[in-house]
Amino acid sequence: MKKQFIKVVLSCAVVAGSFTSCKNFSSSKNVSRATGWKINDKEGGFQYNSDFKEQETAPGLVFVEGGTFTKGKVQDDVMYDWNNTPSQQHVQSFYMDETEVTNVMYLEYLDYLKSVYPPDDPKYANIYIGALPDTLVWRNRLGFNETMTNNYLRHPAYAEYPVVGVNWVQAVQFSEWRTDRVNEAMLGREGYLDKNAKYEAMNGEISGTFSTETYLNSPESVYGGQIDSLQGKMKNDSVSVFAKRSSGVILPEYRLPTETEWEYAAQALIGTREYNNYRGRKKYPWEGDYTRNGQRVGRGDQLANFKQGKGDYGGIAGWSDDGADITAQVKSYKPNDFGLYDMAGNVAEWTADVYRPIVDDEVSDFNYYRGNVYMKTAIGKDGKVNVLRDSIMYDTLPNGKIVAVNLPGEIKMVPVGEEETYLRTNFSSSDNRGYRDGDPSSSRYFERFGGNDEEQDGETMYNSPKFNMEKDSLGNMIRGYDKSNNRTTLINDEVRVYKGGSWRDRAYWLDPAQRRYLPQYMATDYIGFRCAMSRVGSKSKSKNKTVRSKKVR
């Protein structure tokens, strides 16, 4: 009887083991659930990063879990701009810089450009010069600020202060440069590139540089076509291979945050969350309706760097209200509930959006953003991606500043055309900055009378000034001024939103929902920026996920 019982137990174990092995075979991460073929087989077949867990937090960034909130909800509107109509929006999870981009971070960018594209070389001169911040923004006709003009950007005393004098275009180009440098380091760390490859370009040992998009689309063109000698050797593999998006190593691009992302991150309503609701209201990034600390420790201290009143930028000597008269060193004040510093005060910050007085939430209430210009890689006659090896394209901004549109080794981009837009319902053109607001098909004020004279074009919604930049026979810039008396607004498709109060602003502007705008080519001594990065994958980080029961009770 005992032997029979043992046989039954053993037979059950064998059957259970066979079921388990079948289950393991069908659900193994290295076996395709579609075909049953092995994934990442050494003999060939489908290669994929089946060990990927979640997106790595890139240097300098903080995770911001997405959610729903009321955009444009201000407590005060003494300016009566009528541009803060509340609308319910949802934001996907993303990452944002813990602090504003600082002087030392921007100096690293300038140092790279100066090393790789020496300004004493005529063909590179405008690359470095075009990236330089405008230090003259500190000057005031009736104020002595030459110390900041000469020292603020480069002196070590201001190293960890937010960079200013940077226009929107320069901020975007810094973000693009940062993307390439971080991904270059990531590929070196994971063995796809030699760890010293990133320094060889700076030292002039190779004639090209690394571009993320070029690496993904035409890897053999990276580093001036010399990438074969700069590839690393993967673990347990004697053959050099290229990483792909499916490798899970290359991070999404650094970029400017959208206005909606910035406002959501600044409010940090997660700190007032109670179950599935927000408890109370927050006027500022911190809890409460006052700018002073109400806690026992530090009670009475200002919670941000802003202008207290007329002629009061930092309080009286010996007892400073906020510890700063101009900008302050980053992390001088407490972070908000997302762990972000200076989302109110210090400097206002550029966002990615083109400014319009009204947010069109009737069309989109998910990741709202106005400014989409869809581009694609240019394909040459040989069917290959067009890599701009040595050619550099420049753009002259309305104020005469020359900036590089591309750097050598980058891919040429062109607007999407009919092949991508034909019979689509979600977009019909490459440039969507004026969609449903100010373009001929939607503006109620637009009348077209014909003719080439701009004054004969009728009454447009956004009749902003136009500055004509011309060159004489010697190539010198002739700066033209718009002297028309018929201009009705400063708004156009090159005007960008900036958010947050600054050291020059009263407390009114510290409300995250307040919004202002400035032409994208202008810079000031009170506007800086920080970068953001989209999150790919889950809404929440793994450690924050709540286990949900499969059964509904």
Three-state DSSP class for residue 506: coil
Q: Do residues 333 and 341 lie in contact, with contact meaning Cβ atoms separated by under 8 Å?
A: yes
Per-residue tokens: 523: 């810079």
pLDDT at 551: 42
In which element (H, E) is residue 14 found?
helix 2-27
Query: For residues 178 and 253, what is the distance between their CA atoms, to the nearest angstrom?
Result: 8
pLDDT at 291: 83
| Burial readout 315-331 (b: 16 or more C-beta within 10 A, e: otherwise) | eeeeeebbebebbbbbe
pLDDT at 381: 85
Q: Which amino acid is at 361?
A: D
pLDDT at 261: 98
Three-state DSSP class for residue 128: helix
DSSP 168-204: HHHHHHHHHHHHHHHHHHHHHHTTSB-TTHHHHHHTT
Half-sphere exposure of 166 (CA within 13 A, CB side): 33
Query: For residues 71 and 84, what is the distance between their CA atoms, to the nearest angstrom?
Result: 8
Which DSSP letter does residue 421 get?
H
Instruction: Give me Rg for the CA atoms of the chain.
Output: 28
Q: Do residues 101 and 175 lie in contact, with contact meaning Cβ atoms separated by under 8 Å?
A: no
Extract the residue ranges of the chain whose pLDDT is less than 50. Answer: 18-26, 235-236, 238-239, 446-457, 547-553
- The percent helix, strand, coil of the chain (3-state, each to 5) is 25, 15, 60
pLDDT at 442: 57
Could you identify the residue written with the tokens 């975007």? 172
pLDDT at 118: 92
